[in-house]
Structure 1
Amino acid sequence: MFRVRLYYVFTIIVIASGSIPKGYDEGGFSASITLKSFEQDFGLTESQWKGTASGLANRTANISSFGVLGAAFGSLIALALADRLGRLRCWRLFVLLWASGILMQVFSSGYLGLLLFARIWGGLGAGGLTVIAPLYLSELAPAKSRGMVVSIYMVILLSFLSLGFFVNYAASVTMPATSEQYRVVMAIPLVPVGIAFICSFFLSDTPRWLASKDQGEKALDILVRLRRSGRNNPSVIAEYDEILEQIHGSNQTLKNVPIMSILKEIATVSTYRERFLLGCTMQTVAQWSGGNGITYYIPKIFTYAGIVGNNTSLITSGAYGILKLVFTMMFTWFLIDRLGRRVLYMAQWKGSNNKSASDAAIASVFVYAVGWSIGLCTVQYLYGTEIYPTRIRGVCYATNMALHWFFQFAVVRVTANMFVSLGIWGAYVFWALVCAIGFVILGLWAPETKGVPMEKMDELFAGRWWMGWKAKRDLTDNVEMPTLKHGERET
């Protein structure tokens, strides 16, 4: 008989709410800089920059990208803290960092320096959450549904990204163009994240982290509660034994292990090194494919495409966000644990032809949104949390996400200038070339991880890197671990 595991669902929703800061920043904040009230307070009106389009582009890019820069450093802070403090305490710490940054941002009216500092400070929290939340969710979920569980992070992220555009639209048509207009827009995400923060005090850390800290009994108690089962349930016993076997049998304990020792292992153990580089490559392709450049400037891009009027542009941007949300939900609930990661990640190619007709340009952006949603948008988060063993997972994933944020900073920072210096079409050509290169490299390198327990990833990566596409994918809980088709790697 089907039983709803309320504590399990509650935990997923609370922790996945850590995606709201990133999602709302890409939708709510990125759109708020087009509000007349914001432009007037921070000197972004075109009349102030006549004859100096590059100067306006630089200021706009700085305001948009400094939050991303802070997030990159937040990811590095997560690298240092995730294994020491635990997933849950780090999650709370980064929520507080982000919230304090948002409050400074809300009350920075007219002071550009304070706004830029607040963007960096709040970004520290947002960046740390992009490491901790997916990491927590991946360690929480059983192998068969791990893809769906981790991807709920992206569903919530995109929900608030879409909501942000409509909040801006509502503010633009119902409120006068004063400082209060954009203050309200910026402050809204404090409410749901604040509720999640309070709810987090009813949660416990992940069984895998607890076990890695020699708290085996507590880890088992949490696992039993999450699975809503008894201690003698065979599936719970099997899952718990696998966790202990990897941690103790493969020397995966984290107790009193310095970060430098873990970094040395990543550099010297070939299978760890390959997986780390694969995670970095996946993040590189995802960011330089142009996704966040388009998202942060989507209202302006629709204006370039011929959509007249700021309000109309915001509505169209909201529709763009909803399209991404819908296809991500389809991907999360119906495809990721059935078709797998490789098939969907390879759907990254997007239409980016330079057509003069407005309807063709707009259609191309929406076609891109579909491809992004079912591939690059989500798989990069999921894949990076599941391919590493417990001992190096926190360090590797935090480093991957730091790279993610540094590249996202670079993309967001240069996109406005690319539109000016390359002509709008040149930016799309560059992004399309990145997609093509990534399609080939990752198509050869990345093995399918669908249904493979995290404790058995060593088996999956036991072949030559360029034969990853041929690796066997039947390393599930119910199947005896086979030898890979393409030989064994030296370790």
Structure 2
Amino acid sequence: MAGGVLKPVNIFRLKSLGEPKEVFNWRIWFAVVSFGLLGAARGVDEGLISGAFNSKEFKRLIHYHSYDKVKQANIKANVSAMVQIGSVVGALIAFMICDRVGRVWATRQLCLVWIVGIAIFMGSNGNLGAIYSGRFIAGIGVGQTPVVGPVFLSEVAPASIRGICTCIFTGFVYLGTVLAYFANYGCQVHIDDTTPARWQLPISLHLLFAGVILVLSLFQPESPRYLIKCGRRDDALAVMSRLRNLPPDHEYVVREFNAIAVSHEQELESTRGAGFLGVLRELFLERSNLYCLHLAMLAQILSQWSGAGSIALYASDLFSMLGVTGQRASLFVTAIFGLVKLASAMVCALFLVDFIGRKRSLLLGISLQAVAMIYVAGFLTGVPQLGVVAGYKLQSSELGPSKGAIAMIYISGLGWALGWNSMQYLLTAELFPLRIRALSTSLAMTFHFANQYGNSRAVPNMLLPLANGGISPSGTFWCFAAVTILGGLWVLFGVPETAGRSLESMDRLFALPWYKIGRYGNADALLRDREYIEKQREEETDEAMKSYDPHLEHAMRRT
């Protein structure tokens, strides 16, 4: 069985970092899938909420048509974005829960919160207050998923496939989106639009995913890095042995375990102060940690305001605006859009992120996204009536460019999946030291949802004509294009390559002055790796071998 598992893994991992073949076993992939499914929480919500507003029964329940256009835009934005508001709270408290009860128990409690919130939403009977409350509570659970999931995955995965394992979380975002889109389409086709089942049945996907994740978590061990952090070294070694499918005294397990343990001891020794105050000081006063925090925060701003997240949330409306006629056709085209993003995310996870590296994959995705946004913005500038004049019919000369704009929405989804949507989770999860990993990831994801809320809340109003206080559809996409280009420049000069490095050696990327890290940080870190390995060889003592990092020497061989 092990041999059968290994063959595809060898294709996808970042060359060879010297891991024994037993490391790539069913236990590690079972853990990856179990926690990767947490990504579906955000994808399901993004795909479902627009479908609810396409239901006549849902609109009737909330008396949607009794309001003017501006009020309708505000209600739609509030209902859609309420999960993001709750997610800000969820992401903010996630680090405390992760560090207090562990990654596995954090997963169980967030699933319960998620289920309670969706149950309130489904039982709201059209009461806007209950709808807002239910989606806010669900958001508290959903907001913890991008903290708990990527942190656990990065902590259990071998270095050579850490990118693949963490990006599977992103892939499940799109799995949730695709299932949500097709659930909306199927219910639109087969269920009477005047019955509550038309919008409640798709919404029940939330309950399905939350229940499956909750059950799978019952069969998962705690992260060995978290157990070391709690001082439970015997338990950590046992879990490490189980996940690597090697005996506890195997050389690979001992070296990886000791590297983590010694790194954590060094973190504790260098921490300024004790307890939570010491963690805050370490995060904000250590130069390398502060630079990592800047990377994580700015990645959230630039990714969210590049517009791709809003396109996913309001996809069916945008396709209708660009010339797709009919509600069923719009929902079907939106479902295909979800499939394109899912396939792109899988390509990124399996072939790009650990093969060509994080930075190249991110720049490729941003380039595709920028081209798409510029085209759509130009098309809407040339046909300013779209999205502004109700019932506007495209002229024959405009049909070709309209199809091009629809294709560019697909291209933007492809670029988003290859770039920002994978990297914003992966970089955040792997940059920070163990002692502050949960806190820093929590802060980054709080920023993520705050910006996602601001963007998703603003877009319906941004799309309004200038006379109604918006900036028009064309102005909205020109804004997205400008932010995307700015993000590409920042990645080029500010983000170092992290592929193939162990979590315990990330700090070597940030030894140079800040303005050199993006261009020269990885090369400088490899030189420091060489010096570190040579020093270990010269000392050749038991104490030195305790802190030996088995991945560094193989990283040197790649150069």
Q: TM-score, normalised by structure 2?
A: 0.83
> Structure 1, unaligned stretches of length 5 or more?
483-491
Q: 1:218 aligns with which of 232, 235, 243?
A: 235
Q: 1:12 aligns with which of 32, 38, 42?
A: 32
> Is residue 2 from structure 1 mapped to residue 19 from structure 2 by the alignment?
no
> Is residue 261 from structure 1 mapped to residue 278 from structure 2 by the alignment?
yes
**Is this contact kept in 2: 1:155–1:325, CA < 8 A?**
yes
The Cα shift of 1:89 comes to 0.9
RMSD of aligned residue pairs (Cα, Å): 1.8
- Give the AA of the match of 1:154: T
**Is this contact kept in 1: 2:185–2:335, CA < 8 A?**
no
When residues 314 and 257 of structure 1 are mapped into structure 2, their CA distance, relative to the original with a 3 A threshold, is farther
**Is this contact kept in 1: 2:117–2:135, CA < 8 A?**
yes
**Is this contact kept in 2: 1:288–1:434, CA < 8 A?**
yes
The Cα shift of 1:258 comes to 3.2
Q: 1:206 aligns with which of 219, 223, 229?
A: 223
- Give the AA of the match of 2:97: L
The Cα shift of 1:252 comes to 7.3
When residues 252 and 214 of structure 1 are mapped into structure 2, their CA distance, relative to the original with a 3 A threshold, is farther
Q: 1:143 aligns with which of 148, 159, 179?
A: 159
**Is this contact kept in 2: 1:252–1:390, CA < 8 A?**
no
Aligned residue runs from structure 1 range 138-287, under 5 A: 138-177=154-193, 178-251=195-268, 258-287=275-304
**Is this contact kept in 2: 1:252–1:391, CA < 8 A?**
no
* Worse-superposed segment, 27-36 or 421-430: 27-36
The Cα shift of 1:179 comes to 1.5
Aligned residue runs from structure 1 range 82-161, under 5 A: 82-161=98-177
Secondary structure in 2 aligned to 1:2? Answer: helix
* Worse-superposed segment, 19-28 or 184-193: 184-193
The Cα shift of 1:82 comes to 1.5
2:492 corresponds to: 443
**Is this contact kept in 1: 2:91–2:445, CA < 8 A?**
yes
CA–CA distance in structure 2, aligned partners of residues 109 and 161 of structure 1: 25
CA–CA distance in structure 2, aligned partners of residues 465 and 371 of structure 1: 28
**Is this contact kept in 1: 2:359–2:496, CA < 8 A?**
yes
CA–CA distance in structure 1, aligned partners of residues 51 and 277 of structure 2: 41
Q: For 1:251-301, what per-residue CA distance to the aligned partner results, in whole angstroms no more than 9, with x for missing partners?
A: 2799x9633321122111111111111111111111111121111111000
CA–CA distance in structure 2, aligned partners of residues 426 and 160 of structure 1: 30
**Is this contact kept in 2: 1:291–1:372, CA < 8 A?**
yes
When residues 213 and 3 of structure 1 are mapped into structure 2, their CA distance, relative to the original with a 3 A threshold, is farther
> Structure 2, unaligned stretches of length 5 or more?
6-24, 384-400, 465-469, 530-549
Aligned residue runs from structure 1 range 327-346, under 5 A: 327-346=344-363
Q: 2:342 aligns with which of 325, 342, 353?
A: 325
The Cα shift of 1:38 comes to 1.5
**Is this contact kept in 2: 1:44–1:60, CA < 8 A?**
no
When residues 190 and 257 of structure 1 are mapped into structure 2, their CA distance, relative to the original with a 3 A threshold, is farther
1:305 corresponds to: 322
CA–CA distance in structure 2, aligned partners of residues 284 and 233 of structure 1: 44
- Give the AA of the match of 1:37: E
CA–CA distance in structure 2, aligned partners of residues 419 and 398 of structure 1: 31
Q: Percent identity?
A: 27
Q: For 1:174-211, what per-residue CA distance to the aligned partner results, in whole angstroms no more than 9, with x for missing partners?
A: 11121122111111231233122122112111000000
1:471 corresponds to: 521
CA–CA distance in structure 2, aligned partners of residues 81 and 155 of structure 1: 25
CA–CA distance in structure 2, aligned partners of residues 2 and 97 of structure 1: 41
1:486 corresponds to: none
- Give the AA of the match of 1:17: L
Aligned residue runs from structure 1 range 407-446, under 5 A: 407-420=451-464, 421-446=470-495
CA–CA distance in structure 1, aligned partners of residues 429 and 507 of structure 2: 14
**Is this contact kept in 1: 2:498–2:522, CA < 8 A?**
no
Secondary structure in 1 aligned to 2:452? Answer: helix
- Give the AA of the match of 1:362: I
- Give the AA of the match of 2:156: L
**Is this contact kept in 2: 1:80–1:259, CA < 8 A?**
no
The Cα shift of 1:467 comes to 1.2
* Worse-superposed segment, 188-197 or 75-84: 188-197
* Worse-superposed segment, 379-388 or 356-365: 356-365
How many equivalent residue pairs? 477
> Is residue 384 from structure 1 mapped to residue 385 from structure 2 by the alignment?
no
Q: TM-score, normalised by structure 1?
A: 0.94
- Give the AA of the match of 2:418: I
The Cα shift of 1:462 comes to 1.1
User: Which protein is bigger by CA-based radius of gyration?
Assistant: 2
The Cα shift of 1:79 comes to 2.5
**Is this contact kept in 2: 1:25–1:161, CA < 8 A?**
yes
The Cα shift of 1:100 comes to 0.6
**Is this contact kept in 2: 1:88–1:205, CA < 8 A?**
yes
The Cα shift of 1:3 comes to 6.2
CA–CA distance in structure 1, aligned partners of residues 206 and 130 of structure 2: 20
**Is this contact kept in 2: 1:288–1:411, CA < 8 A?**
yes
- Give the AA of the match of 2:520: K
Secondary structure in 1 aligned to 2:476? Answer: helix
**Is this contact kept in 1: 2:267–2:435, CA < 8 A?**
no
CA–CA distance in structure 2, aligned partners of residues 159 and 29 of structure 1: 16
Q: 2:416 aligns with which of 372, 378, 381?
A: 372
The Cα shift of 1:472 comes to 2.5
CA–CA distance in structure 2, aligned partners of residues 398 and 18 of structure 1: 15
> Is residue 54 from structure 1 mapped to residue 98 from structure 2 by the alignment?
no
CA–CA distance in structure 2, aligned partners of residues 258 and 249 of structure 1: 15
